[in-house]
Structure 1
């Protein structure tokens, strides 16, 4: 099972929900999907979903998943790493109405540059990213390295204010 985390952001992330539902419809990656859908307006017809899950359920789904795909929020990203995953990050983009600013893209790129995640800028890249990530897990020092990058993110946000 591939677990997809949309988070709790007030802005819907329909672009990712639609892409995952299409992958489920075509069986393009040979696995079922389970989506934590959040506030998306689009409701999948081919992938299982729940709008919101408890923290414990999210952790359980991450651990059980062969691959974790998530928006590039720091909390969800760190949670995936903490649970031993090398997540596929799909940054929300303010230019597409998915967030208030563009901070998720540089954070995702920093995580990928540190070898802690794989970044998907366009949803067409998802099948290849999922295939490449299946056999990867977070290295033993991943959580400490990821937390260092959240310090960079805090500095980045201060620069926006």
Structure 2
């Protein structure tokens, strides 16, 4: 199963939803797709969808999914990481009237570069190849989240132990 979430931002994200629906319609994706469409106006014709899901259902969908495709909101792409999945992140863009600016793209690219545990797609046309090759792409990627808090605590503990 593939789970797609566009978050709860009040602008549409038709570009992503229509792309996924088309991949399903054309038989590129054969497995079940569940989409959380948010405030988008495009209604998928070939996928199971709902505007919003309760939080517990979101978690269940993410845990069940082989692939999670999400917008560039940190909460949405951190959730799959927390259960050991590498998300495909398609940031919302201002040029398509999906957000007020391109902060999602900038932030997601920075996370991808620093952590190496998300796949950022700048152009939805890339989604087809990423989905087809997903399993081989993620083989060499770390699925764990690096925690600066844990690193800080370890270093702080070392300092305290050296003092005493």
Q: TM-score, normalised by structure 2?
A: 0.82
Measured after TM superposition, the shift of residue 108 of structure 1 is 1.3
- Matched residue, 1:74: 74
Q: Matched residue pairs, number? A: 147
- Matched residue, 1:104: 104
> Is 2:142 the partner of 1:142?
no
Measured after TM superposition, the shift of residue 126 of structure 1 is 0.6
1:18/1:103 CA distance change after superposition, 3 Å: same
* Greater Rg by CA: 2
Unaligned runs of 5+ in 2: 152-164
Measured after TM superposition, the shift of residue 109 of structure 1 is 0.8
Q: TM-score, normalised by structure 1?
A: 0.84
- Matched residue, 1:123: 124
Taking the aligned partners of 2:25 and 2:12, their CA distance within structure 1 comes to: 21
Render the CA deviation track for 1:65-84: whole Å, top value 9, x for unaligned: 01000001011011111121
Taking the aligned partners of 1:72 and 1:90, their CA distance within structure 2 comes to: 6
Render the CA deviation track for 1:85-115: whole Å, top value 9, x for unaligned: 1000000001210001110111111222121
Give the 5 Å matches for 1:2-13: 2-13=2-13
Give the 5 Å matches for 1:11-160: 11-113=11-113, 114-134=115-135, 136=138, 139=142, 141-142=144-145, 144=147
| Partner-residue secondary structure (3-state), 2:69 | strand
Taking the aligned partners of 1:143 and 1:57, their CA distance within structure 2 comes to: 26
